[in-house]
Amino acid sequence: MASAALTDSRWITRGEERTSLSRFLLWLAPWTVLLALGAYAAGLCLYFGLNQTNMDNRFAFGLWIFLDLGIIALGAGAFFTGFLVYILKRAELRPILNTAVVVGFICYSGAVGILGIDVGQPLRFWFTFWHPNTHSMLTEVTFCITCYLLVLCLEYIPILLRNRQLRKLPSFLVFEHQLHKLVPVLAGVGTLLSFFHQGSLGGLYGVLRGRPFAFRQGFFIWPSTFFLFILSAIATGPSFLMLVTATVEKVTGRRLVPQEVFRRLGFISGSLLAIYVAAKSIDTLIWLNVTSPSVGFAPWQYYIYKPFGTPILFVEIVLLGLVPAFLLTYRKTAMRRGWLLSAAVLACAGVLLNRFVLTVQTLAVPTLPFDEFLQYTPSWQEVASFGGVIAYGVIIYSLSYRYLPMFAPSKGENTNVSGD
């Protein structure tokens, strides 16, 4: 048999073993289809307009904004890990750093991509930069997210340049080395930018006087949701990283990072989550008893609509907040991988629920006394576009894992469960 099998082994990091190219392509195939479907749906929206979605004048923000806020929160692991490793010198988290950067890159570039189709006039994107409104949280978000995406690109490039073939170009090697020196600076900048935009995403809703369900008092110009969003993002970012790494380990059949890293991530996530739960509970009490009634809205009226009753508060704060915080920090459960990962899932679900409540439930809840509680179901174009982003993320990560030294040299059998 002629060994005419297509191979890309010269692109794979020396010393690493990866599955055959054909199996890899087989793995990529369904994700590529999903990506193509997403691109098609996005194309429909760009060509025909936003009437392709099920958003309307009452649900001006829908699935996309909810998922955007969600993936930016989950992608906070990127800046936070950088902060912990480079600023706080927590070297034990180094093994996860590359994953953090790539996950961050995927989350932010995906979010920016979706935002590009979520606006009615994408060609006018630059107006925010040219006519910025200093009072608007969205201006702040736009600036910081764009700058931070740039930072992530700059952090991703050194990883890219460590590819076996690219390393061979001396100018790239020098470039990569120089960039590498910049990384602590980038980490610092990234932390600052992320602090502000994670906060401003919360501020987006906290400043809405016209939506007492979301409106919060705060500190100076920043509503409490500003700080709560930062806290919830840095609390769940590490959990998300843990889940991504665990998934990659499962798919590749290898142990890629020491278990200790998981425990560390879990502990950081859990402790921050505990602080967040405390802060959120206080904030909720203030909102229920002071802020909302002061603008004429008795809190009970928000929760009379099934299934969005008061159990949602309980689920968000206790079931998906306090419980994972406990599981991630309590020694007995934190030692066990199964408990860690389950808790991480709960934590991530909690932050997604929080974003959902603030983006979707805010719009469903009536403001005028003769409004009704409204329903909204995303259209297939909205779901497919987001499916495309997920596919994009899987493809980027798969390519990064295959061709770049994402982790320290891996141990463990090449069991090849599926794909790479």
Partner 1 sequence: MSARYGMVIDLDRCTGCGSCMMACASENNVPPLPQATARTGLTPMLVRKASNGMEGGARREVFIPIMCMHCEHETPCVKVCPQQAVEVDKATGIVMQMPQRCLGCRYCMTACPYHARYFNWWDPAWPKGMEKSLNPGVASRMRGVVEKCNMCHARLHTAKEKAAAAGKREIDLADYVPACVEACPTGAIRFGNLADPNDAASKEARSPEAFRLLARIGTEPKVYYKSKEAWVRALAESKSGSVPEVKRVEAGHAEVQHG
Partner 2 sequence: MKVSRRDLLVWSAGAAAGLIVTPVPWKLLDDTSIWSQNWPWIPQPTRGPVEMKQSVCTLCPQGCGMRVRMAAGWPVGVAGVSSHPVSRGALCPLGFGAHQLNWHPQRLKTVRHRGGASAWGDAQAAFAKACKEGPVVVIDGYPGRAASSMLESFAQKHDGGYRVVLSAETRALTPYEKWSGVPASALGYDLENAKTIVSFGAPLLDGWGAPGRFTRLWAERAAGMNDPQLRLIQVDESLSRTASRAWQWVPVRASAESALAAGVARVLLEERLVAWRGPMPSLTLAEAAERTGLSADAIRDLARTIVARTPAVAIGNGIDPEIAALNVVLGAAATPGGIVRRSKRGAAYVPADAAMPSVRAALIDASVPWDFAPQTDAEVFRFAAWDGGSSRADWLLPAPGFLEELMDVPTAPTLAAETYAIAPSLTKPPAEVQSAAQFLGGIDPSLTPVDKIIHSRCGNLFHARAGTLIGREATPVAKIASAQALEEQLQKGAVWVGEAARPGGWRCELKEWPAAASGPPENLTATWSAPVLPPLATKLYQESSLREMPARRNA
* Site residues for partner 2 per CB under 8 A: 121, 123-124, 126-127, 169, 171
Shortest separation between residue 170's beta carbon and partner 2, angstroms:
9
| Of 37, 74, 106, 204, the one binding partner 1 by CB under 8 A | 204
Question: For 360, phi and psi rounded to 5 degrees?
Answer: -90, -45
| Partner from partner 2, partner 1, none binding residue 9, C-beta < 5-8 Å depending on class | none
**Spatial separation of the C-alpha atoms in residues 380 and 372, rounded to whole Å:** 25
| Of 31, 61, 156, 240, the one binding partner 1 by CB under 8 A | 61
| Partner from partner 1, partner 2, none binding residue 363, C-beta < 5-8 Å depending on class | partner 1
| Partner from partner 1, partner 2, none binding residue 387, C-beta < 5-8 Å depending on class | none
Q: Whose Cβ is closer to partner 1: residue 59's or residue 108's? A: 59
Query: By CB under 8 A, which span of 58-66, 174-182, 269-277, 412-420 interacts with partner 1?
Result: 58-66
Question: For 184, phi and psi rounded to 5 degrees?
Answer: -60, -40
| Dihedral of alpha carbons 418, 382, 145, 364, sign | negative
Residue 133 binding partner 1, by CB under 8 A: yes
Residue 209 binding partner 1, by CB under 8 A: yes
Give the tokens for residue 111. Answer: 């979010």
| Partner from partner 2, partner 1, none binding residue 171, C-beta < 5-8 Å depending on class | partner 2
Q: Do the beta carbons of residue 273 and residue 321 sit within 8 Å?
A: yes
Give the tokens for residue 5. Answer: 């099998």
Question: For 223, phi and psi rounded to 5 degrees?
Answer: -70, 165
| Partner from partner 2, partner 1, none binding residue 209, C-beta < 5-8 Å depending on class | partner 1
| Partner from partner 1, partner 2, none binding residue 74, C-beta < 5-8 Å depending on class | none
Q: Do the beta carbons of residue 59 and residue 382 sit within 8 Å?
A: no
| Of 43, 95, 188, 366, the one binding partner 1 by CB under 8 A | 366
Residue 57 binding partner 1, by CB under 8 A: yes
**Spatial separation of the C-alpha atoms in residues 314 and 316, rounded to whole Å:** 6
Q: Whose Cβ is closer to partner 2: residue 4's or residue 123's? A: 123
**CB atoms closer than 10 angstroms to residue 355:** 26
The amino acid occupying position 284 is T
Shortest separation between residue 140's beta carbon and partner 1, angstroms:
9
Shortest separation between residue 374's beta carbon and partner 1, angstroms:
8
**CB atoms closer than 10 angstroms to residue 11:** 15
Shortest separation between residue 124's beta carbon and partner 1, angstroms:
5
Residue 50 binding partner 1, by CB under 8 A: yes
Alpha carbon 250 to its chain's center: 21
| Of 119, 185, 285, 290, the one binding partner 1 by CB under 8 A | 119
- Give the closest residue to 282 by CA, choosing from 225, 367, 206, 208: 225
**Spatial separation of the C-alpha atoms in residues 11 and 5, rounded to whole Å:** 15
Shortest separation between residue 169's beta carbon and partner 2, angstroms:
8
Shortest separation between residue 126's beta carbon and partner 2, angstroms:
5
- Give the closest residue to 58 by CA, choosing from 309, 366, 353, 378: 366
| Of 25, 60, 87, 285, the one binding partner 1 by CB under 8 A | 60
Q: Do the beta carbons of residue 218 and residue 206 sit within 8 Å?
A: yes
Residues in binding contact with partner 1, number by CB under 8 A: 50
Give 92's contacts (C-beta < 8 A, 6+ positions apart).
260, 261, 264
- Give the closest residue to 93 by CA, choosing from 261, 269, 263: 261
Question: DSSP characters for 258-315?
Answer: -HHHHHHHHHHHHHHHHHHHHHHHHHHHHIIIIIHHHTT--GGGGG-STTSSTHHHHI
**CB atoms closer than 10 angstroms to residue 324:** 31
| Partner from partner 1, partner 2, none binding residue 118, C-beta < 5-8 Å depending on class | partner 1
| Partner from partner 1, partner 2, none binding residue 169, C-beta < 5-8 Å depending on class | partner 2
Beta bridge partners of 2: none
Give 170's contacts (C-beta < 8 A, 6+ positions apart).
none
Shortest separation between residue 160's beta carbon and partner 2, angstroms:
15
Shortest separation between residue 271's beta carbon and partner 2, angstroms:
45
| Of 12, 137, 242, 391, the one binding partner 1 by CB under 8 A | 137
**CB atoms closer than 10 angstroms to residue 187:** 24
Binding string to partner 1 for residues 287 to 306, with x set by CB under 8 A, is what? -------xxxxx--x-----
Interacting residue ranges for partner 1, rule: CB under 8 A: 49-51, 55-61, 118-121, 124-125, 127-128, 130-133, 135-139, 142, 204, 207-212, 294-298, 301, 362-363, 366-371, 374
